Amino acid sequence: QVQLVESGGGVVQPGRSLRLSCAASGFTFSVYPMHWVRQAPGKGLEWVAITSSDGDTKYYADSVKGRFTISRDNSKNTLSLQMNSLRADDTAIYYCARVSQAGSDIDYWGQGTLVTVSS
Amino acid sequence: QSVLTQPPSVSGAPGQRVTISCTGSSSDIGAGYDVHWYQQFPGTAPKLLVYANNNRPSGVPDRFSGSKSGTSASLAITGLQAEDEADYYCQSYDSSLSGHYVFGTGTKVTVL
């Protein structure tokens, strides 16, 4: 069955960096675009970034552009999010999510990893 | 960056019908992009409920239905059940900014 398992979250000081990973299994990872979506405590969902299936095309939300980098290693079935210059408002649960092949919906989500930016 | 507007909360008694609106603009829903709906229980990841405006994934009860018209979309829950108490989010695509996906503000459904 499809599994997406995020890791790498934790507590980090403002201005520092953190790298999140998402291990995918149960499907052919290399043919699916993948998202990162976040959710601040008690708040709604916010789209963060998307990468094409081959990793060549990437788009970012304005709130993270220039600070975050999405990448993937199709040989290792892994999605990553490099987060630099972290701010307090980046505090959130970060979800790895798969785009369905039929359209633009997200058909599978990971369980999420919590990132807390605090001094 | 645009966002889709939903009512913060809706409520209904068991067995009733409730609807959740999702209002966008001419650059997202109004531009013809599909709308998808997700259900989220506290402490868990969202789950796909309706995709491409009015389609249900396997396993989703048929009391959930979606529709889209103009710059808005709606999710209807008929025969409301206690287990439907959750947060619901719509999602679409915004053509005004390349590659940008947008979520609704979220709606808390309370079963009275």
Helix (H) or strand (E) holding A119: none
- Quote the percentage of chain A above a pLDDT of 90: 96
Asked if residue A10 has pLDDT above 60, the reply is yes
C-alpha–C-alpha distance, residues B47 and A107, integer Å: 8
Asked if residue B1 has pLDDT above 90, the reply is no
Which of chain A's residues have a Cβ under 8 Å away from the Cβ of B40? 45
Band the pLDDT of B22: cuts 50, 70, 90: very high
Which of chain B's residues have a Cβ under 8 Å away from the Cβ of A9? none
C-alpha–C-alpha distance, residues A84 and A24, integer Å: 24
The strand pair at B72-77 and B64-69 is best described as antiparallel
- Quote the percentage of chain B above a pLDDT of 90: 88
- Quote the pLDDT of residue A23: 98
What's the sign of the alpha-carbon dihedral A94, A98, A99, A105? negative
- Quote the pLDDT of residue B3: 82
- The pLDDT of B85-111, averaged and rounded, is 91
C-alpha–C-alpha distance, residues B67 and B69, integer Å: 7
Query: What is the three-class DSSP state of A100?
Result: coil
Asked if residue B2 has pLDDT above 70, the reply is no
Q: From the CB of residue A68, how many other CB atoms can be counted at a distance below 10 Å?
A: 21
Residue found under tokens 């990793």 = A55
Touching A: B residues 34-93, CB under 8 Å: 34, 36, 38, 40, 44-48, 51-52, 57, 89, 91-93
* pLDDT one-digit tens code per residue, A18-63: 999 999 999 999 999 999 999 999 999 999 999 999 999 999 999 9
C-alpha–C-alpha distance, residues B3 and A35, integer Å: 17
Q: From the CB of residue A98, how many other CB atoms can be counted at a distance below 10 Å?
A: 22
The beta-carbon neighbor of B45 closest among A57, A58, A111 is A111
How close are the terminal C-alpha atoms of chain B, in Å? 35
- Quote the pLDDT of residue A57: 93
Residue found under tokens 């995020």 = A6
